[in-house]
Structures are given as structure tokens and as C-alpha cells.
Amino acid sequence: MDAAYHPTPRTTPTRHRERARYDRDTVHAILDEALICHLGYLSAGEPVVLPTTHARLGETLYLHGSSGSGPVQAAGAAPAGLPVCVTVTLLDGLVLARAALHHSMNFRSVVVRGAARVVGDPAERSRALNRLLDHVAPGRSADCRAPDARELAATGVLAVDLAEVSAKVRTGGPVDDPEDQSLPHWAGVVPLSLAAGEPRAAADLDPGIPLPDYLGRTRAPYSRYR
Amino acid sequence: MDAAYHPTPRTTPTRHRERARYDRDTVHAILDEALICHLGYLSAGEPVVLPTTHARLGETLYLHGSSGSGPVQAAGAAPAGLPVCVTVTLLDGLVLARAALHHSMNFRSVVVRGAARVVGDPAERSRALNRLLDHVAPGRSADCRAPDARELAATGVLAVDLAEVSAKVRTGGPVDDPEDQSLPHWAGVVPLSLAAGEPRAAADLDPGIPLPDYLGRTRAPYSRYR
């Protein structure tokens, strides 16, 4: 397998092409760190964007939802799969430049174009649902009550192949025009990151059950902020 | 003006209707707190979702981009406006339930359906661009170098009326089935929030220029984490 995705006209940005990344390591790292994605699809011919959770397994991105939800229904009705765009964005900082229009954000984003298929195979469904849990808290799928037949029937799993994929990354400080650099305005970066607070046990939790290790230091944001 | 947006079939969720909110105060607060949105539109008939910045002014949502960017070009070519869906999501926590399929996220999101028009009026363009700066750092538009004619010509401003709008809010702990509550799995919430770090001045910044007050305590996330 190539180390990078092949750019297509649809995954080549119209500007700031120097920010585009196609290597799988970069793309995978962004998809794996982000806790949510934004799923775009067409409903009655118009665009809809919904936040949802995702998880990557190799070169497949999985999403899930109620079997009655818009995207699951639409994908089920699309024999060749539902055209989707799944976008993930990690916000890393505000970039304040001296010039109004040079303000920017530091970010890492991934855009996945493709067709979402409804996963029917029970083994693949099970792997995907476990991965969705472990994406958020590595190990959690082995430490909870597995879905029963009724719950599985009420849940739709969607899969999108990671084929037409690009990342975009901006890092570093503001880039002002040379003639603006002596202006009397503060310029720099305000770092931003998602931070996890102290876990709060459910009110009815048996106090003898300890906080699991997988909410400790194994995954961003927990690993970075506790 | 009514205190709430009118629900339409397109802004009524298919499930968890109890999480839907239509009151303007809730919608405005979410739009105003979020630093980025995800803009969905059609390109060659297929959905595209791009992260970008936004700002609200009354009942109008403004976005901007290079005048050559996909959405600005598409909106310019659509006499009745470009059908868009602008979605904003604030992630507030991971919700771990005993049952796999009761895991959830605490979040506040807003979905705006509408048609994006290209703003042509110079006064409205100027107000929108100032607001985009002040959205991120209140007061910044008065403390930077204003755009010149060349920069303005290279920038497209889009406006979407806030008319067909809904928010969705989940708060609180896990909701497990009664028969699962004695299972030996930790259950609770891991709070999440966007945190600002210590601002880093640009390498070439005159050290005599102090950090401005508007990066202090006036706006989340700065107000909450410093």
C-alpha cells in the first residue's frame, strides 16, 4: 500500500496548497485523535451536516446511528452507497496577525470524500461498534455490556473507504506583510486544545468501582491534560 | 420578533426530540461561543464539508473566504443563493454508560439551513469582516490594520439568514437501563472543553507591545481557562 493517498481534483485545495497533506500517517493521526466528525450528505437534494462520532479501522471509517436516522436511511436506500463528505477538525490555535485579513487558525483537518455503505455483516458490525467505543476510550469495548439483539437491530453502521482523502494542516505564527511588522498591534498565537476534566461518576455508581485505567493517560485529550 | 425559531420538518430531529431547542438565546449562545463551524454545500452535485470561521450579527450568520474558494465561487454563481448547511458543535463531555449502545456525548450543536448569498454592499462587508475578528477576540477589529482595497477584492463574504435553525443539547450523566445499573462497569461523564494556553508572541513582535486585554477574560475559552 502506498504511504500516501493519491490527490484528486476534489482533494486538491484551491488555495494554500502548501497546507495539504496526503500521507496516511498524518491523516490517520488526525482521524484517530478527533472525538467527533461532521458528516455531510444530501437530503432531498440539499446539504445536511451533522456532528457524530467516528472510528477508523485500517482504511475504513465507521460511523453509526439509529437505524431510523437520516443518513442511515439514506445510505440504505442508495444501492451504490450514499455520497458523503466526512470532515474532522482539530483546532490548535488562534493566529493573530497585524493585518485583519492575515488572521488565521492553526488546525489539523481531514476531509474524506466517498460513498457510505450500510454494514450488514454481523462480524464487521460488531468490530465497528467495538472500535467506536475504543476510539473514545481504548479498552472500553471489553468493559461494558455488549449490545443485545434488539439494540443491534436499532443501530445502523456506516462504512466509508479511505480512498479520496486529504488533510490540511496549519502551524506556526502569523505571517504578516513586511510593511506591517512594525505596526503597534500584538501578534502571535493563542494555543487551543481540547481538555478533559476530572471524570464524574454517575450518581448511582457503586462507589467500589474504580475509575478505569483507560480514562487515564492513554489517549488525547486525557493523556495531555491530566 | 419571536423568542424562538419555528421548527420545520427539516429542523425536527428524527430521534431524541427532547434534545432539540429552538429558542434564540440558546442558538445564539452556541453560535457565539463556537470558534469554528462546518459549512456544507454541493460541489458538482456532491456534498462537501469544510471547516471555517463564522460570526453572528443579529439574525445573520457571516462566513468568509478567498474570493476564489469553492463556496464563494458557488454562491456567486447561484442567483437565489447557495443552499448550505452550517453546523456548529461544542463538545462538553464523554458519557460512559454500562451498556455499549448507551454511550453518548454531552454537546451543544446548532444546525443552520439556508441559502448563502455573496455580500456585495461595502458597508455590510466591512461590518461582517469586523465581526469575524471580534467574534474570536472581542475588540480585535479596532486593534489591527484594516483591509486595503486589494485584500478586500480577494475576499468573499457570505451571509446566511438565521431562519431555519435548530439547536440540539445533551447534558447530564449516562442513562442506563435499570437492569444494567448493577453491572461492574464504571459509568459517568468525562467533562471536555476547549482550553486556551498561554499566548505566544510572534518572534518578531516588539517586546514593548503588551498582551491585549481582549485576550484576557472576556470570551470563552479564554475566560474559562486562564
Q: How open is the CA angle B131-B137-B139, to the nearest 5 degrees?
A: 70
Cell of B192: 471536555
Burial of residue A79 (number of CB atoms within 10 Å: 0-12, 13-18, 19+): exposed
Average pLDDT score, chain A: 94
Helix, strand or coil, per DSSP, at residue A25: helix
Maximum distance among all Cα pairs of chain A, rounded to whole angstroms: 67
CB-based burial, B92-116: b 16+ in 10 Å, e otherwise:
bbbbbbbbbbbbbbbbbbbbbbbbb
Distance of CA B212 to the CA centre of its chain: 24
C-alpha cell at A121: 455483516
Closest in A36, A69, A133 to B14, CB measured: A69
- Residue B14: predicted pLDDT: 80
Distance between CA atoms of residues B127 and B35, nearest Å? 18
Say which residues have a Cβ less than 8 Å from residue B179's Cβ, sequence separation at least 6: none
From A146's Cα to the closest Cα of chain B, the distance in A is: 6
Residues of A in contact with B92 (CB under 8 A): none
3-state secondary structure of A47: strand
Is A108:A100 a contact under the CB 8 Å cutoff? no
Min Cα–Cα distance to chain B from A1, Å: 27
Q: How far apart are CA B222 and CA B201, in angstroms?
A: 16
pLDDT range class, residue B225, cuts 50, 70, 90: very low
Residue B126 φ/ψ region, left for φ over 0, alpha for ψ in the -120 to 50 degree band, beta for the rest = alpha
CA dihedral A66, A71, A72, A74 (to 10 degrees): 140
Which has more pLDDT, A13 or B55? B55
Sequence spans of domains, chain B: 17-171
Q: Are the beta carbons of B137 and A206 separated by less than 8 Å? A: no
Q: Which pTM was predicted?
A: 0.96
Cis amide leading into B221 (omega within 30): yes
CA torsion angle A174 A178 A181 A187 (round to 10):
-10
Class of domain A17-171: mainly beta
What ipTM does this complex have?
A: 0.95
Which chain B positions have a beta carbon within 8 Å of A53's beta carbon? 105
Closest B-chain CA to A201: B188
Q: Closest CB to A209: pick one of B68, B69, B186.
A: B186
Average pLDDT over residues B147-158: 96
Q: Kindly report, residue by residue over A155-206, the tens digit of the pLDDT.
A: 999 999 999 999 999 999 999 999 999 999 999 999 999 999 989 999 999 9
Q: How far is A178 from chain B (nearest CA, A)?
A: 11
CA distances from A136 to A88, A211, A218, A221, B40 (A): 15, 15, 11, 10, 25
| Interval B82-106: pLDDT, tens | 999 999 999 999 999 999 999 999 9
Taking contacts as CB-CB distances below 8 angstroms, the residues of chain B near A85 are 40, 46-49
CA A217 to each of CA A136, A196, B209: distance values in angstroms, whole numbers, following the listed order: 13, 11, 38
Q: What is the pLDDT of residue A226?
A: 37
b/e per residue, B166-191, with b = 16+ CB within 10 A? bbbbbeebbebeeebbebebbbbbbe
How far A114 CA sits from the closest chain B CA (Å)?
10
CA angle at A180 for the pair A177 and A181, rounded to the nearest 5°: 95
Q: Do A85 and B204 touch (CB under 8 A)?
A: no
Instruction: Give pLDDT, residue B226.
Output: 37
User: For chain B, what is the mean pLDDT?
Assistant: 94
Picking from B177, B93, B100, the residue whose alpha carbon sits closest to that of residue A204 is: B177
Taking the alpha carbons of A169, A172, A174, A179 in that order, is the dihedral positive or negative? negative
Nearest CA in chain A to B86: A49
* Per-residue model confidence as pLDDT tens digits over B35-50: 999 999 999 999 999 9
Residue A186: Cβ within 10 Å count: 22
Contacts of A174 in chain B (CB under 8 A): 202
Cell output for B156: 468573499
Residues of B in contact with A216 (CB under 8 A): none
| Mean per-residue pLDDT, A206-222 | 80
| Closest in B85, B101, B189 to A200, CB measured | B189
Predicted confidence (pLDDT) per residue in A71-93, tens digit? 999 999 999 999 999 999 999 99
Contact B190 A210 (CB under 8 A): no
Confidence of residue A220 (pLDDT cuts 50, 70, 90): low
The answer to whether A105 and B36 are in contact (CB under 8 A) is yes
A188:B204 CB<8 A? no
Tell me which chain B residues have a C-beta less than 8 angstroms from the C-beta of A103. Answer: 133, 136, 140, 144
The identity of residue A80, as a single letter, is A
Q: Look at B83 and A111 and tell me if their CB atoms are within 8 Å.
A: no
CA distance A197 to chain B (A): 5
